[in-house]
Structure 1
Amino acid sequence: MALWLYRLGRFTFRHKWSVIGAWLAVLIALGAIVGAVQPKFATDFELPGTDSDQAMTVMQENFPAINERQLEATTSILVAADDGLANHMQQIDALVADARDLPEVIDPQTVVNPVTAAEQNPAMAAAVLGDDGKVGLIQISQNIPMQDLTPADMEQFKELLAEHRGDGLQVEGTGSLMQVFEAGGTSELLGFAVAFIIMIVAFGALIAAFIPIVTGILGVGITMLLVTLSAEIINLQQSATTIITMLGIAVSIDYALFIVSRYRSELNLDANLEAAVGRAVGTAGSAVVFAGLTVMVAVAALGVVGIPFITQMGVAAAVAVFIAVLGAITLIPALLGAFGRFAFKPRIPGIRHGDEPDSQPSNGLRAARFITRYPLPVAIIGLVLLAIAAIPMTKMELGMESTTDSEYEATQLLQRGFGEGINGPLLVTVSDAEGDVATAAGDVVAHVKTLDNVANPAQITWIGNGQNPANTQSGATAALISVTPEQSPSGPATHELMEQIRDFAATDPDGATVNVGGQTAIMSDISDKLSSALIPFLIVVVGLAFIILTVVFRSLLVPLIATVGFLFSVCATFGATVAIFQEGDFGIIDHTKPIISFLPIFLVGVVFGLAMDYQVFLVTRMREEYVHGMSAKDSVIIGYQHGARVVASAAVIMISVFAAFMLAPDTIAKMMGFALAAAVFFDAFIIRMIVVPAVITLLGDTAWKLPGWLDKILPNVDVEGTAIREIPLETQVDPDLWEPEPAKV
């Protein structure tokens, strides 16, 4: 492979303008096609094989109007006054009048002052007025799909609340208008800015720092357009695109950074630019290909979870990584050819430029000598630190909810006046295609009324799909029962309530099929599937990655060290995340939450791939030096000296990109950003740059041993570039293209 990539690098260098033009043409063509076709992302949600998905199917077939209503925007306004809402009638009436003017409100006359509604219909007073008349609920339904709401709609709603808040009246909101997804941009721009600064430091030159940024923008743009266009062909949800920007930018910059750094190093040996590019792509490019393959395996394996939108996210991420690898081995050498001798101009004084001789002291060389001198205590200290950080993981609680921090005050009022579950009802379906469901539906209603955590059990009834609008229960073959929990929709009590209904359904003697659906049940089922899929996912990812790394390093112990080290770093990440976001340590966040159920499996998939990136980048150079005659200890020192600067730069870029998401106002976004940044820090700086070289030093020659029978089976991919080293150096160079500068002594 190394020789093939060497030739590819030289080819793209010679045909630079054609290659750059081809990339730009693909980007423009895809943009034009997407603009012309205007593909639409799917709005339906599926959880194959789950009880909530079966309930959704029953609702789609028998209660289509209600099912459609579930997809439309519904928002609640909570009003509260310690002196009683009756003392603020004029203020509440003005609020109601303005709320009726929101876009596409369904039947504005249903948006009413809760005090007035309670007086006109005392039987329903408990549903709109609580806490002895001190808390009121105003419900708003809009004929707008939830995903079509815009940030402008959310801002208009927040301004409405603020306008009528005051003079002793508290006005808060929760629901669809408070959960609008705001398009990113700030975090990505901040990540690019930090990445650019870090690459200036890494290369000591301005132009070279631009090259990874250019490849990242082109790669992410092409991937986003490809995935968007595929929505025209397959049932694709927009959530599949959320991972592309974050992961695509990160790996594109990482891979470009690695190849450009190796190219800078090769120029010390071969002043011919084309030959140096070929050698860089042949050696570093081999590591990039296998690192990218490992990441693709890790994210594509999200398909084992069995949730379509997560599978789509994994596939989209794999496409982003594939485009990043393709850009690294084709677009990077073309850009280096286009910039020619200006690639590392202007040189910034006072910064190491990466072209110093190996004998010149550097921080990487000093660190490598220290680690190899005291490998056992270094490895033990690193692992003990991670083990201590992992201790809070034993308290981890998983949950899944859609409420944001801006809804916190409203949910507190809901809990105070009506119970938190009012906005998260369980939708129970009873179906029997061959008979009347009246008896079965009555049994379910009677049983639900006996359960704990049910709000207003006396008011629970069922509606049917009968043909008589005045009496839908007559002749119904399907029934729908709305059950409102008293406690939080995402809490354990509501999950237990849902399971109690499902357990009763399993023993119902009337033969009807009973399912529990609705958003609350869907979230619960997602959480269960994610939890149950974590171990199989780990087995698939670790197993396939172990095979890939065994092929790359031609060793069993090195891949084993890499995998075990990752488990330490990911456990430390879970521990730190639990301590800060669930337990509230250090006072960093205002509102503690359970760890979002999606986080563990997402973190394992993304960070395992990135961890193996750093493993390949750092350790392939060690193996390269060992294969070409260096002792086991010296190969670690030289490999570390050459790779540490690049790995550290790449890790800092990753940490900056992920940490930028902590600037978001929402705790869940902060949690995701923190966990990813912490995982990269623990894995890159403690496992890859401290523990792994220390353990390899301890093992000595044994680290690179491979059983003879396995050596015959495994393909030799020549990641260490043995075939390239046999190619004579081409020291002749056009002075207009390159001006080698003497190294400082």
Structure 2
Amino acid sequence: MWTEWILRHRRLVMLGWLVLAVLGGALAPRAIDRLSYDFSFPGQPAYEANQQIRETFGGGGDVDPLVVTVTLPQGRTFDDPGVRDELREAFTALGRPGWRTATPFNVADPAPFMSGGTAFALVYPPITPGPGPYAAALPQLDQALAGATVGGAPLLLTGVEPLNESGGGSDRPIIVEIALGAGGALVVLALAFGSLLALVPLLLAAVAITTTFLLVLALTAGLDVSFIVQYLVGLIGLGVAIDYALLIIMCWREERAAGADNEQAVRTAMATAGRAVVFSGVTVAISLLALIVLPLPFLRSVGLGGLLIPLVSVLVAVTLLPALLVSAGTRLEWPRRRVPKTESRAWLRIGRLVVRHRWVSAALATAALVLLALPVFGIRLGSPELAAIAGGDSPAAVGYRNLADAGLASVLRPVELVSTDPAGAAQLDQIDGVKAVVTPTGPGWTAGDGTLLPILLDTDPATPQGADTVESIVRADKGEVGGTAAQDADAVEAIYGDSWWVLALVVVVTFALLARALRSIWLPIKALLLNVVSIAAAYGLTVLIWQDGRGSEALFGTESSGSITVWVPIAAFSFLFGLSMDYEVFILSRIREGHDAGLSTDEATIHGIAYTGRLVTSAALILVLAFIALSTVPVVDVKIFATTLALGIALDATIVRGVLTPALVAAFGRVNWWWPSRS
């Protein structure tokens, strides 16, 4: 009935989507401009302390300070005639009304601010909402530093924010990544179709992406939506929209190859493949419950934004695609004259080999996934180490490396303590790993009976030693502990402390849907178990590459991050769980159809893999290319996320769906089809 209505009103359907696409494309920049860069963890001690610091002292807290540093030429020291006076003059010029500074000349103990021929100053300007928290302050600092030298050496501006911005990520529009992903997808589609039909999935993806940006704009009117959503809409949207279009088009071609006329082929494709697409989209949406129900605003917005793209992609696939196929489908097969066979001979051979050696295949595939998953047991969650974001030759990177050479790299991320007893807080310098408790004497560091004290560490707080030091400072209970390092630890607790029940909810709901759709108890259990194993293997490889540094330099030109960004595992799980289930549904639905048509389990499995193998491979390759495009974003957090997604899809489409799924279906025979009878 749905398809009949679409076919009768196909011109209206196509016009409606055209209007939405044009409107969404025109308003997409406005939607992106309204995205939030806030990572909030309400109720967590460090987050609340950071909010207090920003409200009371005007800056700092969850935004690390800017650091101005100078390294003298070899052979010169700050005791040389005139050099110290030049340093004092340069650092004094950094002050502005409403700014806080900590320099060797306005703190109780200047020694920690100077090491050999390197000195630094901490600068806390007011924070500007948006992607660049110091966007308003940086031009003023650049002006103050222009032409200034100390002992003949220039002053360099560094810090976490300048290092992030030096990668160019804040200036590069999302269209760059979408174009890279679309280019790779077009190559795959051209090889798969060899005709103008290759453009149809890309057209549908464009409509889905632009329409989703229109919905994201509406979301921003009522809540803060994370900037991460733009990447999910652009690149996951590109992948899933093409996936859904591929499934329906492949079925349509199969029906035409079997002799059906064009319109009847569309009806049959919608009745079978269209149903699988709807189910797959709903499954992806359900997997994002893990993000939506967590009490964290930025993750909830990622879940809501991510939820929109599969649902819109499904809607485009089951409305616009049948309208296009009926209107111009046969003409789009040019220059091919014959409809190609939909079964792949290569995958037919693979299916027969796996089914013949089912237990060996299952054992080898399982062993490979378990081996790949082992590194996940050593996972560390936190922010990337400073060295991972300090690549290149920008002034910020050079300034960081000068500080690192002098043993001062960790000053870029000080712990911030609000204390009513500064003398008692000063005793924290006895904690192992604390370099100094800074007591500034300048304006802006005291409000009421509270004093804000930066605490400098010996090592980067993102390292295990630095994290232990931060934990010791918190346990000492000398005041309210803030700063980004303290908030990292709170983030782990906030996201993963009670998340097990959320994941359990997703698994239970997905099982119920799969069991009903496949009319089987074992098949959904197997699918869920394989999903968990493949996601664990993706995590393990990500830990190996990014945390342990086995390939991060070669693949991304970036040093080891030393840890995995806090939000990446839960976000990657939500998306991989749903996207991987897409392929499982495609394959198992086809095997189920073959079995219902009278084939034995072995025959149904072989022919199911032969039919879906090319489809799943093409769809997965397009998604992997989209995530590779995402990994070019010059932000380490996004690179780690993209790596996890790309590895998860690649492993799932090869080892899991190509080997383990058919092997286990064949191995369990009749058990696959057990379904409680209604009696």
TM-score range, shorter chain: 0.7 to 0.9
> Within 5 Å, which residues of 2 pair with 1:688-707?
688-707=657-676
Does residue 84 in structure 1 map to residue 76 in structure 2?
Answer: yes
1:12 maps to a residue whose letter is I
What is the distance in 1 between the residues matched to 2:86 and 2:201?
58
Point out where structure 2 has 5 or more consecutive residues left out of the alignment.
none
Does residue 355 in structure 1 map to residue 340 in structure 2?
Answer: yes
Name the counterpart of 1:229.
218
> Within 5 Å, which residues of 2 pair with 1:364-513?
364-401=347-384, 403=386, 404-406=389-391, 410-417=399-406, 419-429=408-418, 438=420, 441=421, 445=425, 448-457=428-437, 459=439, 472-473=447-448, 476=449, 480-505=452-477
> Within 5 Å, which residues of 2 pair with 1:664-743?
664-665=633-634, 667-708=636-677
Name the counterpart of 2:580.
611
Q: 1:72, 1:143 within 8 Å by CA — same for their partners in 2?
A: no
Q: 2:627, 2:642 within 8 Å by CA — same for their partners in 1?
A: yes
Q: 1:243 to 1:687 in 2, by over 3 A?
A: same
Shift of 1:34: 7.9
Name the counterpart of 2:559.
591
Name the counterpart of 1:741.
none
What is the distance in 2 between the residues matched to 1:489 and 1:305?
26
Q: 1:74, 1:140 within 8 Å by CA — same for their partners in 2?
A: yes
Name the counterpart of 2:522.
557
Q: 2:437, 2:453 within 8 Å by CA — same for their partners in 1?
A: no
Name the counterpart of 2:118.
135
What is the distance in 1 between the residues matched to 2:32 and 2:175?
22
Name the counterpart of 1:737.
none
Q: 1:262 to 1:98 in 2, by over 3 A?
A: farther
Does residue 187 in structure 1 map to residue 171 in structure 2?
Answer: no
Give the aligned length. Answer: 660
Q: 1:219, 1:324 within 8 Å by CA — same for their partners in 2?
A: yes
Bigger drift between 185-194 and 316-325 goes to: 185-194
Q: 1:85 to 1:298 in 2, by over 3 A?
A: farther
Match of 1:573 among 538, 554, 560: 538
> Secondary structure in 2 aligned to 1:489?
coil
> Secondary structure in 1 aligned to 2:279?
helix
Q: 1:153 to 1:704 in 2, by over 3 A?
A: farther
What is the distance in 1 between the residues matched to 2:111 and 2:534?
51
Point out where structure 1 has 5 or more consecutive residues left out of the alignment.
1-6, 431-437, 466-470, 509-513, 713-745
Q: 1:240 to 1:99 in 2, by over 3 A?
A: farther
Name the counterpart of 1:17.
11
Q: 1:641 to 1:617 in 2, by over 3 A?
A: same
**Structure 1 runs (4+) greater than 6 angstroms displaced:** 31-39, 87-90, 96-100, 108-112, 150-170, 460-465
Shift of 1:66: 1.8
Shift of 1:142: 5.0
What is the distance in 2 between the residues matched to 1:660 and 1:40?
23
Q: 2:400, 2:409 within 8 Å by CA — same for their partners in 1?
A: yes
Does residue 522 in structure 1 map to residue 487 in structure 2?
Answer: yes
> Within 5 Å, which residues of 2 pair with 1:651-670?
651-665=620-634, 667-670=636-639
Bigger drift between 602-611 and 297-306 goes to: 297-306
Q: 1:40 to 1:71 in 2, by over 3 A?
A: farther
* Deviations 1:578-623 (CA, angstroms, capped at 9, x unpaired): 2222223356255112222222212211111111000001110110
Shift of 1:227: 1.2
Match of 2:191 among 197, 201, 208: 201
Name the counterpart of 1:535.
500
Shift of 1:362: 1.3
Bigger drift between 250-259 and 453-462 goes to: 453-462
What is the distance in 2 between the residues matched to 1:459 and 1:124?
8
TM-score, scaled to structure 2: 0.85
Shift of 1:289: 1.0
Q: 1:72, 1:141 within 8 Å by CA — same for their partners in 2?
A: no
Q: 1:35 to 1:386 in 2, by over 3 A?
A: closer
1:535 maps to a residue whose letter is W
Does residue 266 in structure 1 map to residue 251 in structure 2?
Answer: no
* Deviations 1:604-658 (CA, angstroms, capped at 9, x unpaired): 1111111100000111011011112222111112211211111110011111111
Q: 1:174, 1:411 within 8 Å by CA — same for their partners in 2?
A: yes
Q: 2:109, 2:439 within 8 Å by CA — same for their partners in 1?
A: no
Q: 1:340 to 1:291 in 2, by over 3 A?
A: closer
Shift of 1:318: 0.6
Shift of 1:573: 1.7
Does residue 245 in structure 1 map to residue 229 in structure 2?
Answer: no
> Secondary structure in 1 aligned to 2:223?
coil
> Secondary structure in 2 aligned to 1:384?
helix
Does residue 317 in structure 1 map to residue 289 in structure 2?
Answer: no
> Secondary structure in 2 aligned to 1:428?
strand
Q: 1:69 to 1:167 in 2, by over 3 A?
A: closer
> Secondary structure in 1 aligned to 2:650?
helix
What is the distance in 2 between the residues matched to 1:159 and 1:480?
28
> Secondary structure in 2 aligned to 1:343?
helix
> Secondary structure in 1 aligned to 2:402?
helix
Q: 1:693 to 1:31 in 2, by over 3 A?
A: closer
